[in-house]
A and B are shown apart, each in its own frame.
Chain A
Amino acid sequence: MTKLFNSQETMVDDMIDGFVSAFPQVERGKIDPRVVVRSRARKNPDEKVTVLIGNGSGHEPIAMGFVGEGLLDANVVGDVFAAPSADLILDGIREVNGAAGTLLLISQHSGDVINGRAAIMLAEDDELNVRGLLMYDDVASAPPERRQDRRGAPGTMFIYKILGAAAEAGLDLNGLMALGEAVRDRTVSLSAAISPGISPLTGKPMFKLPEGEIFIGMGVHGEPGAGRMAYGPVNKLVQTIVDKLLQDRPIARGGRAAVIINGMGGTTLMELYTIWNETRRVLAAHGIEAIAPMVGSFVTTQEMGGFSISLLEPTDQMLAYWCEPSDSPAFPSISLLAQEALT
Protein backbone atom coordinates (compact mmCIF):
# COMPACT_ATOMS: atom_id res chain seq x y z
CA MET A 1 0.00 0.00 0.00
CA THR A 2 1.20 3.51 -0.81
CA LYS A 3 1.96 5.91 2.03
CA LEU A 4 2.83 9.56 1.72
CA PHE A 5 6.33 10.42 2.89
CA ASN A 6 9.64 11.76 1.54
CA SER A 7 11.90 9.01 2.85
CA GLN A 8 11.98 6.56 5.73
CA GLU A 9 15.05 8.37 7.11
CA THR A 10 13.30 11.75 7.34
CA MET A 11 9.65 10.76 7.90
CA VAL A 12 9.63 11.35 11.68
CA ASP A 13 11.44 14.70 11.53
CA ASP A 14 9.30 15.87 8.61
CA MET A 15 6.23 15.11 10.71
CA ILE A 16 7.57 16.99 13.76
CA ASP A 17 8.44 20.01 11.59
CA GLY A 18 4.89 20.07 10.29
CA PHE A 19 3.39 19.64 13.72
CA VAL A 20 5.29 22.44 15.48
CA SER A 21 4.77 24.83 12.58
CA ALA A 22 1.02 24.17 12.63
CA PHE A 23 0.59 24.75 16.37
CA PRO A 24 2.22 27.78 18.03
CA GLN A 25 1.76 26.35 21.53
CA VAL A 26 4.51 23.75 20.87
CA GLU A 27 8.08 23.83 19.59
CA ARG A 28 11.12 21.61 19.18
CA GLY A 29 13.39 21.27 22.19
CA LYS A 30 16.46 23.46 22.59
CA ILE A 31 18.64 20.60 23.88
CA ASP A 32 17.27 17.98 21.52
CA PRO A 33 15.10 18.49 18.41
CA ARG A 34 13.43 15.09 18.90
CA VAL A 35 11.65 16.53 21.94
CA VAL A 36 8.43 18.51 21.53
CA VAL A 37 7.96 21.07 24.35
CA ARG A 38 5.44 23.73 25.35
CA SER A 39 6.42 27.08 23.87
CA ARG A 40 4.28 29.41 25.95
CA ALA A 41 2.44 29.75 29.24
CA ARG A 42 5.16 27.73 30.90
CA LYS A 43 5.35 28.13 34.63
CA ASN A 44 8.68 28.18 36.42
CA PRO A 45 9.82 24.50 36.60
CA ASP A 46 11.24 25.26 40.04
CA GLU A 47 7.64 25.79 41.17
CA LYS A 48 5.61 23.44 38.97
CA VAL A 49 6.34 19.71 38.57
CA THR A 50 6.91 18.97 34.89
CA VAL A 51 5.27 15.93 33.26
CA LEU A 52 6.45 14.19 30.11
CA ILE A 53 6.30 10.91 28.22
CA GLY A 54 8.28 9.27 25.42
CA ASN A 55 6.79 6.99 22.80
CA GLY A 56 7.39 5.58 19.34
CA SER A 57 5.89 7.54 16.46
CA GLY A 58 3.21 6.22 14.14
CA HIS A 59 0.49 6.46 16.83
CA GLU A 60 -0.48 10.13 16.32
CA PRO A 61 -1.88 12.32 17.73
CA ILE A 62 -0.61 10.71 20.94
CA ALA A 63 1.53 11.92 22.65
CA MET A 64 2.99 15.06 21.07
CA GLY A 65 -0.59 16.20 20.43
CA PHE A 66 -1.07 16.33 24.20
CA VAL A 67 1.75 18.81 24.90
CA GLY A 68 0.33 22.10 26.11
CA GLU A 69 -0.83 24.14 29.06
CA GLY A 70 -2.71 21.96 31.52
CA LEU A 71 -1.36 18.76 30.04
CA LEU A 72 2.15 17.48 29.16
CA ASP A 73 5.24 19.68 29.30
CA ALA A 74 7.07 17.57 26.72
CA ASN A 75 6.92 14.49 24.52
CA VAL A 76 10.01 12.56 23.45
CA VAL A 77 9.46 11.31 19.91
CA GLY A 78 10.97 7.93 18.99
CA ASP A 79 11.28 6.32 15.57
CA VAL A 80 8.30 4.55 13.99
CA PHE A 81 6.90 1.99 16.47
CA ALA A 82 10.19 2.10 18.46
CA ALA A 83 10.68 3.38 21.98
CA PRO A 84 13.01 6.41 22.18
CA SER A 85 16.46 5.60 23.57
CA ALA A 86 17.30 6.25 27.21
CA ASP A 87 19.60 9.20 26.47
CA LEU A 88 16.97 10.82 24.26
CA ILE A 89 14.45 10.53 27.10
CA LEU A 90 17.12 11.98 29.42
CA ASP A 91 17.39 14.97 27.06
CA GLY A 92 13.61 15.33 27.31
CA ILE A 93 13.84 15.35 31.10
CA ARG A 94 16.60 17.99 30.95
CA GLU A 95 14.45 20.18 28.68
CA VAL A 96 11.80 20.61 31.37
CA ASN A 97 13.32 19.68 34.74
CA GLY A 98 13.52 22.14 37.61
CA ALA A 99 13.67 22.11 41.40
CA ALA A 100 10.01 21.02 41.72
CA GLY A 101 10.94 17.80 39.92
CA THR A 102 9.79 15.87 36.87
CA LEU A 103 7.40 12.97 36.43
CA LEU A 104 8.14 10.60 33.54
CA LEU A 105 5.05 8.66 32.46
CA ILE A 106 5.90 5.18 31.12
CA SER A 107 3.34 3.12 29.22
CA GLN A 108 4.10 -0.52 29.92
CA HIS A 109 5.75 -2.03 26.81
CA SER A 110 9.18 -3.64 27.18
CA GLY A 111 11.23 -1.10 25.17
CA ASP A 112 9.51 1.85 26.84
CA VAL A 113 10.01 0.37 30.31
CA ILE A 114 13.71 -0.46 29.86
CA ASN A 115 14.55 2.88 28.27
CA GLY A 116 12.35 4.93 30.58
CA ARG A 117 13.80 3.36 33.71
CA ALA A 118 17.34 3.66 32.33
CA ALA A 119 16.72 7.36 31.63
CA ILE A 120 15.65 7.84 35.24
CA MET A 121 18.84 6.14 36.45
CA LEU A 122 20.95 8.43 34.24
CA ALA A 123 18.98 11.47 35.46
CA GLU A 124 19.58 10.47 39.07
CA ASP A 125 23.32 10.23 38.31
CA ASP A 126 23.05 13.89 37.31
CA GLU A 127 21.17 14.60 40.56
CA LEU A 128 17.96 15.56 38.79
CA ASN A 129 14.76 15.12 40.78
CA VAL A 130 12.81 12.62 38.66
CA ARG A 131 10.30 9.84 39.27
CA GLY A 132 8.70 7.38 36.88
CA LEU A 133 5.09 6.20 36.87
CA LEU A 134 4.35 2.89 35.11
CA MET A 135 0.95 2.92 33.41
CA TYR A 136 -1.02 -0.25 32.61
CA ASP A 137 -4.71 -0.91 32.02
CA ASP A 138 -5.21 -3.56 29.29
CA VAL A 139 -7.29 -6.35 30.85
CA ALA A 140 -6.50 -8.72 27.93
CA SER A 141 -2.78 -8.86 28.69
CA ALA A 142 -2.79 -10.34 32.23
CA PRO A 143 -5.39 -11.50 34.79
CA PRO A 144 -6.47 -9.21 37.68
CA GLU A 145 -4.08 -10.87 40.16
CA ARG A 146 -1.19 -9.81 37.92
CA ARG A 147 -2.46 -6.30 37.12
CA GLN A 148 1.09 -4.92 37.33
CA ASP A 149 2.05 -7.05 34.27
CA ARG A 150 -0.58 -5.50 32.01
CA ARG A 151 0.22 -3.43 28.92
CA GLY A 152 -0.47 0.24 28.62
CA ALA A 153 -3.61 0.88 26.52
CA PRO A 154 -5.67 4.01 25.72
CA GLY A 155 -6.99 4.22 29.33
CA THR A 156 -3.59 5.73 30.17
CA MET A 157 -4.95 8.97 28.68
CA PHE A 158 -6.89 9.41 31.94
CA ILE A 159 -3.50 9.59 33.70
CA TYR A 160 -1.96 12.03 31.19
CA LYS A 161 -4.82 14.47 31.51
CA ILE A 162 -5.57 14.23 35.21
CA LEU A 163 -1.89 14.50 36.22
CA GLY A 164 -1.26 17.27 33.68
CA ALA A 165 -4.07 19.35 35.16
CA ALA A 166 -3.04 18.51 38.72
CA ALA A 167 0.57 19.56 38.05
CA GLU A 168 -0.67 22.84 36.58
CA ALA A 169 -2.75 23.34 39.75
CA GLY A 170 0.40 22.95 41.85
CA LEU A 171 0.35 19.38 43.19
CA ASP A 172 3.85 18.23 44.22
CA LEU A 173 5.74 15.18 42.93
CA ASN A 174 4.67 12.82 45.72
CA GLY A 175 1.09 13.95 45.35
CA LEU A 176 1.17 13.38 41.60
CA MET A 177 2.62 9.88 42.01
CA ALA A 178 -0.10 8.94 44.48
CA LEU A 179 -2.83 10.42 42.28
CA GLY A 180 -1.44 8.65 39.20
CA GLU A 181 -1.40 5.28 40.97
CA ALA A 182 -4.97 5.84 42.18
CA VAL A 183 -6.19 6.65 38.64
CA ARG A 184 -4.34 3.61 37.29
CA ASP A 185 -5.95 1.33 39.87
CA ARG A 186 -9.40 2.57 38.86
CA THR A 187 -8.90 2.21 35.08
CA VAL A 188 -9.54 -0.75 32.76
CA SER A 189 -9.40 -0.98 28.94
CA LEU A 190 -10.17 -3.57 26.28
CA SER A 191 -9.83 -3.32 22.50
CA ALA A 192 -11.30 -4.93 19.41
CA ALA A 193 -9.69 -5.00 15.95
CA ILE A 194 -11.45 -5.62 12.65
CA SER A 195 -8.65 -4.87 10.15
CA PRO A 196 -4.86 -4.38 10.30
CA GLY A 197 -2.85 -1.18 9.98
CA ILE A 198 -0.13 -0.94 7.33
CA SER A 199 3.41 -0.41 8.61
CA PRO A 200 5.02 2.67 7.01
CA LEU A 201 8.36 0.84 7.25
CA THR A 202 7.37 -2.31 5.35
CA GLY A 203 4.22 -1.24 3.49
CA LYS A 204 2.63 -4.49 4.68
CA PRO A 205 -0.37 -5.30 6.90
CA MET A 206 0.66 -5.77 10.55
CA PHE A 207 -1.43 -8.91 11.12
CA LYS A 208 -3.92 -11.20 9.39
CA LEU A 209 -7.48 -11.74 10.45
CA PRO A 210 -9.79 -14.41 9.01
CA GLU A 211 -12.81 -13.14 7.06
CA GLY A 212 -15.78 -12.38 9.30
CA GLU A 213 -13.82 -12.45 12.57
CA ILE A 214 -12.87 -9.81 15.12
CA PHE A 215 -9.90 -9.85 17.48
CA ILE A 216 -10.61 -8.94 21.09
CA GLY A 217 -7.72 -7.61 23.15
CA MET A 218 -5.38 -6.68 20.32
CA GLY A 219 -2.24 -4.76 21.31
CA VAL A 220 -1.33 -1.41 19.76
CA HIS A 221 1.30 -3.02 17.51
CA GLY A 222 -0.93 -5.90 16.48
CA GLU A 223 0.20 -8.22 19.28
CA PRO A 224 -2.15 -11.16 19.70
CA GLY A 225 -5.24 -10.60 21.73
CA ALA A 226 -7.28 -12.54 24.23
CA GLY A 227 -9.55 -14.14 21.65
CA ARG A 228 -11.67 -13.86 18.56
CA MET A 229 -15.36 -13.59 17.97
CA ALA A 230 -17.58 -13.65 14.93
CA TYR A 231 -18.39 -10.33 13.28
CA GLY A 232 -21.88 -9.16 14.20
CA PRO A 233 -23.93 -6.09 15.20
CA VAL A 234 -21.90 -3.57 17.15
CA ASN A 235 -24.23 -3.63 20.17
CA LYS A 236 -23.30 -7.28 20.82
CA LEU A 237 -19.61 -6.49 20.54
CA VAL A 238 -19.86 -3.52 22.91
CA GLN A 239 -21.92 -5.59 25.35
CA THR A 240 -19.18 -8.26 25.37
CA ILE A 241 -16.40 -5.72 25.97
CA VAL A 242 -18.17 -3.70 28.67
CA ASP A 243 -19.23 -6.88 30.50
CA LYS A 244 -15.60 -8.08 30.50
CA LEU A 245 -14.39 -4.72 31.82
CA LEU A 246 -16.93 -4.70 34.66
CA GLN A 247 -16.17 -8.33 35.47
CA ASP A 248 -12.52 -7.37 35.83
CA ARG A 249 -13.13 -4.27 37.91
CA PRO A 250 -16.73 -4.01 39.11
CA ILE A 251 -18.49 -0.68 39.63
CA ALA A 252 -21.44 -0.77 42.05
CA ARG A 253 -24.98 0.00 40.88
CA GLY A 254 -25.57 3.71 41.29
CA GLY A 255 -21.91 4.39 40.48
CA ARG A 256 -20.46 6.30 37.52
CA ALA A 257 -17.79 5.73 34.91
CA ALA A 258 -15.81 8.19 32.82
CA VAL A 259 -15.43 6.71 29.33
CA ILE A 260 -12.85 6.86 26.54
CA ILE A 261 -13.87 5.50 23.15
CA ASN A 262 -10.64 5.39 21.13
CA GLY A 263 -10.49 4.72 17.41
CA MET A 264 -7.35 3.05 16.06
CA GLY A 265 -7.00 5.12 12.91
CA GLY A 266 -9.21 3.34 10.38
CA THR A 267 -12.51 3.67 12.24
CA THR A 268 -14.85 6.56 11.44
CA LEU A 269 -16.49 8.96 13.86
CA MET A 270 -19.83 7.61 12.62
CA GLU A 271 -18.80 4.24 14.03
CA LEU A 272 -17.22 5.66 17.20
CA TYR A 273 -20.31 7.68 18.18
CA THR A 274 -22.37 4.54 17.72
CA ILE A 275 -19.98 2.66 19.99
CA TRP A 276 -20.21 5.41 22.65
CA ASN A 277 -24.00 5.24 22.50
CA GLU A 278 -24.00 1.46 22.97
CA THR A 279 -21.45 1.76 25.80
CA ARG A 280 -23.71 4.27 27.57
CA ARG A 281 -26.70 1.90 27.22
CA VAL A 282 -24.83 -1.18 28.45
CA LEU A 283 -23.49 0.73 31.46
CA ALA A 284 -26.99 2.05 32.22
CA ALA A 285 -28.27 -1.53 32.18
CA HIS A 286 -25.72 -2.27 34.91
CA GLY A 287 -27.03 0.73 36.87
CA ILE A 288 -23.92 2.80 36.07
CA GLU A 289 -24.00 6.36 34.75
CA ALA A 290 -21.61 7.00 31.84
CA ILE A 291 -20.09 10.48 32.12
CA ALA A 292 -17.46 12.77 30.59
CA PRO A 293 -16.90 10.85 27.37
CA MET A 294 -13.86 11.37 25.18
CA VAL A 295 -14.69 10.02 21.72
CA GLY A 296 -12.26 10.04 18.79
CA SER A 297 -9.03 8.60 17.42
CA PHE A 298 -6.20 9.45 19.82
CA VAL A 299 -3.95 6.38 20.11
CA THR A 300 -3.78 5.09 16.57
CA THR A 301 -1.88 2.39 14.70
CA GLN A 302 -1.92 3.85 11.21
CA GLU A 303 -5.18 2.76 9.49
CA MET A 304 -5.93 -0.16 11.81
CA GLY A 305 -9.69 -0.73 12.00
CA GLY A 306 -10.98 -1.10 15.53
CA PHE A 307 -11.50 0.65 18.83
CA SER A 308 -11.01 0.35 22.55
CA ILE A 309 -13.26 1.14 25.48
CA SER A 310 -11.70 2.45 28.70
CA LEU A 311 -13.54 3.00 31.97
CA LEU A 312 -12.44 5.04 34.98
CA GLU A 313 -14.43 5.12 38.19
CA PRO A 314 -13.38 8.64 39.19
CA THR A 315 -13.27 10.46 42.50
CA ASP A 316 -14.65 14.03 42.42
CA GLN A 317 -11.09 15.34 42.35
CA MET A 318 -10.12 13.13 39.38
CA LEU A 319 -13.25 14.19 37.51
CA ALA A 320 -12.52 17.88 38.10
CA TYR A 321 -8.99 17.54 36.68
CA TRP A 322 -10.30 15.44 33.76
CA CYS A 323 -12.64 18.30 32.79
CA GLU A 324 -10.15 21.20 33.15
CA PRO A 325 -9.55 22.79 29.76
CA SER A 326 -6.09 22.48 28.17
CA ASP A 327 -4.56 24.21 25.15
CA SER A 328 -2.80 21.15 23.72
CA PRO A 329 -3.32 20.68 19.96
CA ALA A 330 -5.09 17.31 20.01
CA PHE A 331 -6.74 16.75 23.39
CA PRO A 332 -10.49 17.35 23.01
CA SER A 333 -12.63 19.41 25.33
CA ILE A 334 -14.33 16.90 27.58
CA SER A 335 -18.12 16.75 27.30
CA LEU A 336 -20.31 18.96 29.45
CA LEU A 337 -21.83 15.73 30.71
CA ALA A 338 -18.96 15.80 33.18
CA GLN A 339 -19.63 19.38 34.24
CA GLU A 340 -23.18 18.33 35.10
CA ALA A 341 -21.84 15.41 37.14
CA LEU A 342 -19.65 17.81 39.11
CA THR A 343 -22.38 20.24 40.14
Chain B
Amino acid sequence: MTIAQQYFSRLLSRIEARKDELNALDAALGDGDHGTTMLRGLTRAAQAESGMGAKAFMRASGGAAGTLFGLVLVAIERHLVSDADLPAELALAEARICDLGQVKAGDKSMIDALSPAVSAFSDGDLDAAIEAARQGCQATIALHARRGRAQYVEGKGRGHQDPGATSIVILFEVLRETREGQ
Protein backbone atom coordinates (compact mmCIF):
# COMPACT_ATOMS: atom_id res chain seq x y z
CA MET B 1 0.00 0.00 0.00
CA THR B 2 1.48 3.36 -1.00
CA ILE B 3 1.52 6.26 1.46
CA ALA B 4 -1.30 7.92 -0.48
CA GLN B 5 -3.43 4.78 -0.13
CA GLN B 6 -2.57 4.61 3.58
CA TYR B 7 -3.76 8.20 3.90
CA PHE B 8 -7.19 7.48 2.40
CA SER B 9 -7.53 4.29 4.41
CA ARG B 10 -6.79 6.10 7.69
CA LEU B 11 -9.06 8.98 6.71
CA LEU B 12 -11.90 6.54 5.99
CA SER B 13 -11.60 5.00 9.49
CA ARG B 14 -11.50 8.41 11.14
CA ILE B 15 -14.55 9.76 9.29
CA GLU B 16 -16.39 6.50 9.92
CA ALA B 17 -15.82 7.01 13.67
CA ARG B 18 -16.98 10.61 13.51
CA LYS B 19 -19.76 10.29 10.92
CA ASP B 20 -22.62 10.77 13.39
CA GLU B 21 -20.96 13.80 14.91
CA LEU B 22 -20.48 15.39 11.46
CA ASN B 23 -24.07 14.61 10.49
CA ALA B 24 -25.32 16.19 13.73
CA LEU B 25 -23.27 19.35 13.10
CA ASP B 26 -24.72 19.50 9.58
CA ALA B 27 -28.27 18.88 10.82
CA ALA B 28 -28.09 22.14 12.77
CA LEU B 29 -27.05 24.03 9.61
CA GLY B 30 -28.08 22.11 6.51
CA ASP B 31 -29.54 18.77 5.50
CA GLY B 32 -27.62 16.64 7.98
CA ASP B 33 -25.69 14.39 5.61
CA HIS B 34 -22.16 15.81 5.62
CA GLY B 35 -20.65 12.81 7.43
CA THR B 36 -22.52 10.34 5.23
CA THR B 37 -21.43 12.18 2.06
CA MET B 38 -17.77 12.22 3.14
CA LEU B 39 -17.95 8.54 4.07
CA ARG B 40 -19.44 7.58 0.70
CA GLY B 41 -16.63 9.37 -1.14
CA LEU B 42 -13.85 8.05 1.09
CA THR B 43 -15.06 4.46 0.83
CA ARG B 44 -14.36 4.64 -2.92
CA ALA B 45 -11.17 6.66 -2.44
CA ALA B 46 -9.74 4.00 -0.10
CA GLN B 47 -10.35 1.32 -2.76
CA ALA B 48 -8.81 3.32 -5.61
CA GLU B 49 -5.42 2.86 -7.24
CA SER B 50 -2.64 5.06 -5.91
CA GLY B 51 -2.98 8.56 -7.34
CA MET B 52 -6.68 8.10 -8.17
CA GLY B 53 -8.08 8.49 -4.64
CA ALA B 54 -9.16 12.14 -4.80
CA LYS B 55 -10.90 11.64 -8.13
CA ALA B 56 -12.71 8.55 -6.84
CA PHE B 57 -13.80 10.67 -3.88
CA MET B 58 -15.22 13.42 -6.11
CA ARG B 59 -17.11 10.95 -8.26
CA ALA B 60 -18.67 9.03 -5.41
CA SER B 61 -19.59 11.87 -3.07
CA GLY B 62 -21.01 14.11 -5.84
CA GLY B 63 -22.71 17.48 -5.51
CA ALA B 64 -20.89 20.65 -4.52
CA ALA B 65 -19.17 19.26 -1.39
CA GLY B 66 -17.64 16.38 -3.34
CA THR B 67 -15.87 18.81 -5.62
CA LEU B 68 -14.83 21.35 -2.98
CA PHE B 69 -13.35 18.75 -0.58
CA GLY B 70 -12.03 16.84 -3.57
CA LEU B 71 -9.81 19.80 -4.46
CA VAL B 72 -8.17 19.68 -1.00
CA LEU B 73 -7.71 15.91 -1.35
CA VAL B 74 -6.20 16.39 -4.84
CA ALA B 75 -3.58 18.70 -3.24
CA ILE B 76 -2.74 16.24 -0.44
CA GLU B 77 -2.65 13.25 -2.79
CA ARG B 78 -0.38 15.02 -5.28
CA HIS B 79 1.98 15.79 -2.44
CA LEU B 80 1.98 12.19 -1.19
CA VAL B 81 2.29 10.59 -4.64
CA SER B 82 4.79 12.88 -6.32
CA ASP B 83 6.17 15.01 -3.49
CA ALA B 84 4.49 18.16 -4.85
CA ASP B 85 4.94 21.28 -2.69
CA LEU B 86 2.03 20.89 -0.24
CA PRO B 87 1.67 24.51 0.94
CA ALA B 88 1.59 25.67 -2.70
CA GLU B 89 -0.90 22.95 -3.72
CA LEU B 90 -3.17 23.82 -0.78
CA ALA B 91 -2.99 27.53 -1.55
CA LEU B 92 -4.14 26.72 -5.10
CA ALA B 93 -6.99 24.57 -3.72
CA GLU B 94 -8.01 27.38 -1.35
CA ALA B 95 -8.11 29.93 -4.16
CA ARG B 96 -10.17 27.57 -6.34
CA ILE B 97 -12.65 26.74 -3.59
CA CYS B 98 -13.18 30.45 -2.86
CA ASP B 99 -13.70 31.10 -6.56
CA LEU B 100 -15.97 28.11 -7.28
CA GLY B 101 -18.06 28.39 -4.13
CA GLN B 102 -18.12 32.21 -4.20
CA VAL B 103 -17.04 32.03 -0.55
CA LYS B 104 -14.56 33.98 1.58
CA ALA B 105 -13.14 33.84 5.11
CA GLY B 106 -15.80 34.65 7.72
CA ASP B 107 -18.73 33.18 5.73
CA LYS B 108 -18.88 30.15 8.10
CA SER B 109 -17.57 27.44 5.81
CA MET B 110 -14.67 25.02 5.27
CA ILE B 111 -12.60 28.06 4.24
CA ASP B 112 -12.56 29.34 7.84
CA ALA B 113 -10.37 26.34 8.76
CA LEU B 114 -8.52 25.97 5.44
CA SER B 115 -7.48 29.57 4.99
CA PRO B 116 -5.65 30.04 8.35
CA ALA B 117 -4.05 26.61 7.90
CA VAL B 118 -2.70 27.58 4.48
CA SER B 119 -1.29 30.84 5.93
CA ALA B 120 0.35 29.06 8.87
CA PHE B 121 1.69 26.37 6.53
CA SER B 122 3.71 28.74 4.38
CA ASP B 123 7.01 27.69 6.00
CA GLY B 124 6.08 24.00 5.85
CA ASP B 125 5.17 23.49 9.52
CA LEU B 126 2.26 21.00 9.55
CA ASP B 127 1.77 21.27 13.35
CA ALA B 128 1.27 25.03 13.02
CA ALA B 129 -1.20 24.45 10.17
CA ILE B 130 -3.25 21.99 12.23
CA GLU B 131 -3.36 24.37 15.21
CA ALA B 132 -4.47 27.23 12.93
CA ALA B 133 -7.18 25.04 11.36
CA ARG B 134 -8.47 24.05 14.82
CA GLN B 135 -8.68 27.66 15.96
CA GLY B 136 -10.37 28.68 12.72
CA CYS B 137 -12.86 25.84 13.08
CA GLN B 138 -13.62 26.83 16.68
CA ALA B 139 -14.19 30.41 15.58
CA THR B 140 -16.99 29.35 13.17
CA ILE B 141 -19.27 28.80 16.19
CA ALA B 142 -19.72 32.54 16.62
CA LEU B 143 -20.16 33.28 12.92
CA HIS B 144 -23.39 33.53 10.96
CA ALA B 145 -23.55 31.86 7.55
CA ARG B 146 -23.50 33.87 4.34
CA ARG B 147 -23.28 30.95 1.89
CA GLY B 148 -24.86 27.55 1.51
CA ARG B 149 -28.03 26.21 3.06
CA ALA B 150 -27.11 27.50 6.54
CA GLN B 151 -27.86 31.05 5.44
CA TYR B 152 -31.56 30.10 5.37
CA VAL B 153 -31.55 28.52 8.85
CA GLU B 154 -33.06 30.46 11.71
CA GLY B 155 -30.28 32.54 13.33
CA LYS B 156 -28.12 31.65 10.30
CA GLY B 157 -26.42 28.91 12.26
CA ARG B 158 -24.86 31.11 14.94
CA GLY B 159 -23.82 28.98 17.95
CA HIS B 160 -23.01 25.89 15.84
CA GLN B 161 -19.59 24.73 14.65
CA ASP B 162 -19.32 24.40 10.88
CA PRO B 163 -19.18 20.74 9.73
CA GLY B 164 -17.03 21.52 6.68
CA ALA B 165 -14.43 23.33 8.80
CA THR B 166 -14.48 20.33 11.16
CA SER B 167 -13.70 17.96 8.29
CA ILE B 168 -10.80 20.15 7.15
CA VAL B 169 -9.20 19.76 10.59
CA ILE B 170 -9.61 15.97 10.32
CA LEU B 171 -7.98 15.93 6.84
CA PHE B 172 -4.86 17.60 8.29
CA GLU B 173 -4.76 15.54 11.49
CA VAL B 174 -4.84 12.32 9.52
CA LEU B 175 -2.08 13.60 7.24
CA ARG B 176 0.18 14.04 10.28
CA GLU B 177 -0.71 10.57 11.58
CA THR B 178 0.03 9.04 8.20
CA ARG B 179 3.45 10.68 8.10
CA GLU B 180 4.19 9.56 11.66
CA GLY B 181 2.97 6.04 10.90
CA GLN B 182 5.64 5.64 8.20
Contact = CB atoms under 8 A, between A and B. Distances in A.
Given A114-B67, A114-B68, A85 B59 contact: yes
A310 to B, nearest CB: 27
Given A118-B96, A118-B100, A111 B58 contact: no
A198 interface: no
B129 interface: no
A82 B59 contact: no
A10 interface: no
B100 A117 contact: yes
A84 to B, nearest CB: 8
Given A85-B58, A87-B59, A118-B100, A110 B67 contact: no
Given A86-B70, A121-B96, A115 B59 contact: no
A86 B58 CA distance: 7
Nearest to A78: B62
Interface in B98-148: 99-101
Contacts of A118: 67, 70-71, 96, 100
Given A118-B96, A118-B100, A85 B64 contact: no
B62 A82 contact: yes
Interface residues of A, number: 17
B67 A86 contact: yes
Interface in B61-106: 61-64, 66-68, 70-71, 96, 99-101
B34 to A, nearest CB: 15
Given A114-B64, A118-B67, A88 B96 contact: no
Interface in A153-202: none
Contacts of A114: 64, 67-68, 100-101
A62 interface: no
Contacts of A84: 62
A125 B99 CA distance: 16
Interface string A79-122: 10011111110000000000000000000001101110110010
A87 B41 CA distance: 13
B158 interface: no
A88 B55 CA distance: 9
Given A115-B67, A118-B96, A121-B96, A87 B62 contact: no
A88 B44 CA distance: 15
B58 A87 contact: yes
Given A85-B58, A85-B59, A88-B59, A115 B64 contact: yes
Contacts of B100: 113-114, 117-118, 121
Shortest 5 CB-CB distances between A and B: which pairs?
A114-B64, A87-B55, A86-B67, A118-B67, A85-B58
Interface of A: 78-79, 82-88, 110-111, 113-115, 117-118, 121
Interface of B: 55, 58-59, 61-64, 66-68, 70-71, 96, 99-101
Given A87-B55, A121-B96, 20 more contacts: A82-B62, A82-B63, A83-B63, A85-B67, A85-B70, A86-B66, A87-B58, A87-B59, A113-B100, A114-B64, A114-B67, A114-B68, A114-B100, A114-B101, A115-B64, A117-B99, A118-B67, A118-B70, A118-B96, A121-B100
